[in-house]
Structure 1
């Protein structure tokens, strides 16, 4: 049976995956527009070197609503394109880290008590080191301490099979996340200066991608960082970082979906759906149309494809969802 069901279980995963796409569309539209305008302004100035800056502003910016204004000389004449690429790199870091942290917060509060959730949000950002520093494994183990047989049998196999799932290399991906997040934090809190911890994290990431084979589909360039100097970012690296974030979210979406609380989330999503429209409660008598309606119900509730629809129907009957 054809399906348009999502490849993720948690609503926040589905939302963040879409928002990552929207963010990239917006960022690259700005990148393309700035690149074109940067070239045009510089070319125009070369052709008319004696023209006053106000006249150049009038030609290129007249009619645009710009309440904050643009320092055209600084942005287009005095700044190299590499300077702008550093700005876009920072933008990507900020957006991706914010989305990941927001996702982790929502999923952890959906699954765990408030006390546990606040701790688990941070743990999902760190690799496993040992029993004293378990990182993400503390969260995955907690989710597996009480599992749902329905989620394990019917949804986990589908979620685990995603091409975005990076479970075999999850530690390497979290080391990469830690390095880029540390760079982002320094840009926000320490004037963008490199610290020794950033140097150490870059060394750790370099060792990870030096493995044979590399855990990453594409290795990072990783410009050399020097403690006490400004952090240097590579735009392609930051693009790859966004892929790291997407894969981490997908992987943990599958790993945490087995929780017994996930089954309760599943039930609530279906109840919310059936409460809004009578067609989901008044099911056809014909067996084929009956199954088709249930299938459409799962699609409408944005629930991934189960392994066996009959098992889901039986569960829904037990829970009095149909």
Structure 2
């Protein structure tokens, strides 16, 4: 049996999970490079205080092709490292929010109709709630629609596997979405309110501090949560923003499983396998020996990036009924 079993169902989930890894590799590479150069420049400036800043810049950057200009004095001499860490925090905040929003829209567009996918993409960014008209709001809107026309194959064969992921946080989904909302409100303020603390940020900060104070905490690592003052600049903590990225990764994994039960997911599953078969003729000629035939189909699913089903005989029967094998 192939050992390469994807942890997620939707291709976009695996793509975003990989992208998160790439984002952090680049961020930490940039962090290390800036930290080292910042430290060296400040040390050199201390040793040679009479040198003009242009001479110091030439010392460190001469011969290095630069695509744009740098305010060298501000970046390396006037700015303390704590301020740079705030910039890295904002970088993480923006990238992680954007990745989650993009993932939600892609998955919901694949699953739901043109009239509801935007609503559902927004819904899975909010904890559960009830509106004034007593209608349910938040993530249950999307999850309930996915279950309205659920696929028996997806519920029986794949949901149990997907739910077992160590990243799945279904038991604390509301708490994780509340954490997401706090950081999302901070991101929104940087875009729309010049990065100052709004009343929404104060409210979400209080909610998050309250829920993580419960023992045991719903989070593997609690947030530090620097205090926020209404109308003042938002205070971000770098470790909190790293923890926030983990929260988003858990949300993506959890909703990947919860939404995979939709009938549209079965169609996605079928098309993914058919694409593999049509692009490589070796999958069309299966061995007649039952054991070898099953091994080949296992490899077919692995190559299609399909999670392991609960009962492989049921999966093969479904594939035969669809004329895939």
Matches within 5 A, 1:287-306: 287-306=290-309
Looking at structure 2, the residues matched to 290 and 64 of structure 1 have their Cα atoms a distance apart, in angstroms, of 58
Q: Shift of the alpha carbon at 1:311?
A: 1.2
Matches within 5 A, 1:274-293: 274-293=277-296
Q: Residues 78-89 of structure 1: matches in 2 within 5 Å?
A: 78-89=78-89
Helix, strand or coil: the match of 2:104? helix
Q: After superposition, where does 1:229-308 map in structure 2 within 5 Å?
A: 229-308=232-311
- Equivalent in the alignment of 1:310: 313
Q: Which residue of 2 aligns with 1:4?
A: 4
In structure 1, the residue matched to 2:69 is: 69
Residue equivalent to 2:126: 126
Please state how far the C-alpha of 1:288 moved relative to its aligned partner.
2.0
Pairwise CA distance, 1:2: 4.2
Deviation for aligned residue 1:207: 0.8
Give the unaligned 5+ runs of structure 1. Answer: none
Contact 2:2 2:299 in 1 (8 A): no
Deviation at 1:69, TM superposition (A): 1.1
Deviation at 1:132, TM superposition (A): 3.2
What is the CA–CA distance in structure 2 between the aligned matches of 1:191 and 1:176, rounded to whole Å?
21
Q: Choose from 188, 211, 215 the match for 1:208.
A: 211
Query: Are the aligned partners of 1:3 and 1:305 in contact in 2 as well (CA < 8 Å)?
Result: no
- C-alpha contact 2:157 2:310 (8 A) present in aligned 1: yes
> In structure 2, what is the Cα distance between the partners aligned to 1:287 and 1:28?
50
Per-residue CA deviations over 1:31-79 (Å, capped at 9, x if unaligned) read 1111111101001111111111111111111122212111110000000
- The match for 2:101 is 101
The structure 1 segments of at least 4 consecutive aligned residues displaced by more than 6 Å after TM superposition are: none
Taking structure 2 as the reference length, what is the TM-score of the superposition? 0.97
> Could you say what secondary structure the match of 1:307 adopts?
coil
- Return the alpha-carbon distance in structure 2 between the equivalents of residues 133 and 69 of structure 1: 52
Tell me by how many angstroms 1:133 deviates: 4.6
Aligned mates of 1:75, 1:290 — CA distance in 2: 63
The match for 2:34 is 34
For the aligned residue pairs, the C-alpha RMSD in angstroms reads 0.9
> What is the match of residue 56 of structure 1?
56
Unaligned runs of 5+ in 2: none
1:86-165 mapped onto 2 (5 Å cutoff): 86-130=86-130, 131-165=134-168
TM-score scaled by length of structure 1 = 0.98
